[in-house]
Chains A and B, each alone.
Chain A
C-alpha cells in the first residue's frame, strides 16, 4: 500500500522536473500529463473514486487546452543564460527550500501520522450522512447537501472563468477615441 504510493509520488516528482526543465513546451505539457494521470492512480489507491474520475477528465481537458495554446503560440522554451544573478537566485531558493522543508517536517511531527486522521466534522458525515440525506455516495452528500453552499461557489468559479475567458479573448476592448 505504502510502496506503490511512494513510487507514484517519486514518478510525479520526476515528471514535474521534466515538465519544468524540458526545452520543448509540448513535451513539458505531456510530462505534466504524467503527473496528472499518476495523481489519478493515487486517488484510486486512496479510495477516492470520485476524485479519480474528475481528475482524469479535467486532466484530459486541461491538456487539450494547453496544447491548443502552445500550437497557437510557440513550442520553444525561452533560452536562459547562466549568470551571477541566476546563481544567487538559485542559492537563495535552495536555502528557502531547505528551511521550508525543515519547518514543514517539524510541523508534521506534531500532526497525526498518515492514515490516522482526527475525525471531528467528518464523524457526523460518516455516521449519519446516509440516513439523513439518503445519498449512498457520501462525497455527493457532502458536496451537495452538507456543503452545498461551497458547491454553488465552485460552479460560480467556473462561470466566472468562462466570463473571464470570453472577456479576455475579445478582439477590441477599448475603443480608440
Chain B
C-alpha cells in the first residue's frame, strides 16, 4: 500500500517548489495550492474503501525484527480515515476560499507554502504510528500555524501569535519530555508495541507520570478549559481562512485526536482508570465556561473562538463517557463541528471582507446585501445550536442520550443547558449582524466573490446533510470503523502488529 505516504509526500513536495515558482509567476501558487489540496481530498475519499481494515506501512521498508518494530510505522485504520477526510475536505475548501479572500493580503506564495506545510503536518500526525514521528509532524503543523496566525503582521496578530507560540512551545516541550519518559519506560517508540508493554505493566507511578505529561501537553494544544489562554486570541487575529482551518481541523487533530489515540489506544483504560473522569471534568468545564464566556462577546470571531472551546468540550465529554454510544457521539460531533465551525469562520471572514468590521454591534441587516453569507451563516448557527434536522442536532442528541444512559444525569442536564445557551448567543449573532435594519454605512456592501460563496455553500449543504451519516449504510463505512478503533482500546496493538 504505497497510498499512505502520499498524504505527506504530496503536500510537502508541493510546498517545497512553491517559493521558487511563485517568484516568476504571480498566479502560480493559487492554482498549485488548490490542485494539491484537491488531489488530497480525492485521495482521502478514496481511502474510504479501506476504512474497515488496518493498514500498516513501514517507511523505508523496515519490517519488525523478531516482532519488535524498528522503523517508523504509518498506520491507517478507521479513525485515521475519518480524520483524513475531515482534514483534506476542509483544507480544499479553505484553499478555494483563499483564492478570493487573500485579495487584502500580500505575498500569496508564502501563504500557500505555509498552508501546504501545515496540511502535511496534520496528515502526518494522523497517519503516524510512532510517538516521535507524531511529535515531529505536530511541530511542523504548529510552526506553520504560528506563522499563519501572524500572517497579517499587524500588532494584534503578532501579539496573538507570540502568546500562541509560548503556550504551544511549552506544550511541545512537555510532550517531548513525555516521550523521553515513554522511551525510558518502554525502550520503544512504536505506539502499538508500547501498548503491548503497557498492558503488562499496569498502573505504575512511572506510567501515570508519563500520562500526565501527555495530558497536559495535548490539552494545551486542544485548548481545553484550564489551558485555553491562547485560543481566544489566536483564532480572531488570524486570517479567517486560517481560523477556519485551525478551529475546524487544527486543534482537533493536534489535540483531540492525539489525546484519543494515546489514551485510548496506547495507554489504555486499564492503565489509567481515572482517565475517563479527567476527560469528563475537562470536557464539562470547557463546555460550560466556554459557552458562558461566548455569551458576553461583541467581536464576531472571538465569539466563535469561545464557542469552539465549548464544542470541543462536548467532544471530550463524550469520550469521557467511555461507552460505545458516547464515542460515536464524540466522533460524530467532531465531524459536525469541523463543518459548521469552518462555515461560521468563513462567514465571519466574508463579513470582514465586505465591511472591514468584526464588531457585531456596528453591523445590522447584512442579509439584505449578502444573501449567500446570511443564509449559510443561519444554517451554521442552527447546526451548532442543535436544531433538528441539521447535523449538530444528531450528534448532541447522541451525546446527551449516552450521558443519560451511563447514569450521568446531572452532566446530561449541563449539556442540554449549554446547548440552549449556545442557541442564545448564535441568535444574538444573527439578530445583530444579519437581520434587522440595514445600517447606513453598509448600503454599498456587495456579496463576496464566487469562490468564497462556493465554499460557504458547500459547507452549508454538508452541515444540512451530515445527519444522513447515521443511516446504517453510510454509518458502516464512515463512523462505525472509527468507533471500533477507539472502543477496542489496547486491541490496537494486535490490529497493528498482528497476532
Consider the complex of A and B and state whether they touch directly, i.e. have CB atoms less than 8 Å apart. Answer: yes
What is the interface size of chain B, counting residues whose CB is below 8 A from a CB of the partner?
A: 59
A103-146 near B? 1/0 per residue, CB < 8 Å: 11011111110000111111111001000000000000000011
Contacts of B19 in A (CB 8 A): 163
A22 proximal to B (CB < 8 A): no
Other-chain residue from A121, A153, A166 in contact with B124 (beta carbon distance below 8 A): A153
Contacts of A60 in B (CB 8 A): none
Report the stretch among B184-192, B254-262, B270-278, B283-291 that lies at the interface: B184-192
Report the stretch among A27-35, A47-55, A167-175 that lies at the interface: A167-175
From B15, B106, B152, name the one whose CB has the most chain A CB atoms within 10 angstroms.
B106
- Compute how far the CA of A111 lies from the CA of B117 in the bound complex, rounded to whole angstroms: 37
Whether B106 pairs with A149 at a CB distance below 8 angstroms is no
- A169 to nearest B CB, angstroms? 8
Contacts of A123 in B (CB 8 A): 68
B200 proximal to A (CB < 8 A): no
| A106, closest chain B residue (CB) | B205
Whether B69 pairs with A121 at a CB distance below 8 angstroms is yes
- Compute how far the CA of A149 lies from the CA of B204 in the bound complex, rounded to whole angstroms: 32
B133 proximal to A (CB < 8 A): yes
Whether A173 pairs with B133 at a CB distance below 8 angstroms is no
Whether B210 pairs with A175 at a CB distance below 8 angstroms is no
Other-chain residue from B132, B154, B193 in contact with A150 (beta carbon distance below 8 A): B132
- Compute how far the CA of A173 lies from the CA of B161 in the bound complex, rounded to whole angstroms: 14
- A151 to nearest B CB, angstroms? 9
Whether A167 pairs with B70 at a CB distance below 8 angstroms is no
- A148 to nearest B CB, angstroms? 6
Contacts of A156 in B (CB 8 A): 12, 117, 120, 140
Interface size class of A (residues with CB under 8 A): 35 or more
B92 proximal to A (CB < 8 A): no
- B73 to nearest A CB, angstroms? 10
Contacts of A64 in B (CB 8 A): none
B113 proximal to A (CB < 8 A): yes
Other-chain residue from B12, B68, B117 in contact with A152 (beta carbon distance below 8 A): B12
Contacts of B60 in A (CB 8 A): 145-146, 148-149
Whether A107 pairs with B210 at a CB distance below 8 angstroms is yes
Other-chain residue from B133, B144, B187 in contact with A122 (beta carbon distance below 8 A): B187
Whether A168 pairs with B153 at a CB distance below 8 angstroms is yes
B181-203 near A? 1/0 per residue, CB < 8 Å: 10011111110010000000000
Q: List the interface of chain A (C-beta within 8 A of B).
A: 103-104, 106-112, 117-125, 128, 145-150, 152-154, 156-157, 159-161, 163-168, 170, 172-175, 177
Q: List the interface of chain B (C-beta within 8 A of A).
A: 12, 15-16, 19, 59-60, 62, 65, 68-72, 104-107, 110-111, 113-114, 117, 120, 124, 132-133, 136-137, 139-140, 143-144, 146-147, 150-154, 157-158, 161, 181, 184-190, 193, 204-206, 208-210, 212, 356
Inter-chain pairs besides A103-B212, A170-B110, 7 sampled, C-beta below 8 Å: A121-B188, A124-B68, A149-B72, A150-B72, A157-B143, A163-B19, A174-B105
What are 25 A-B residue pairs whose CB atoms fall within 8 Å in the complex? A108-B206, A109-B205, A110-B205, A120-B188, A121-B69, A121-B193, A125-B70, A146-B71, A153-B136, A157-B140, A157-B143, A161-B147, A163-B19, A163-B114, A164-B147, A167-B107, A167-B147, A173-B152, A173-B153, A174-B105, A174-B106, A174-B152, A175-B104, A175-B105, A175-B106
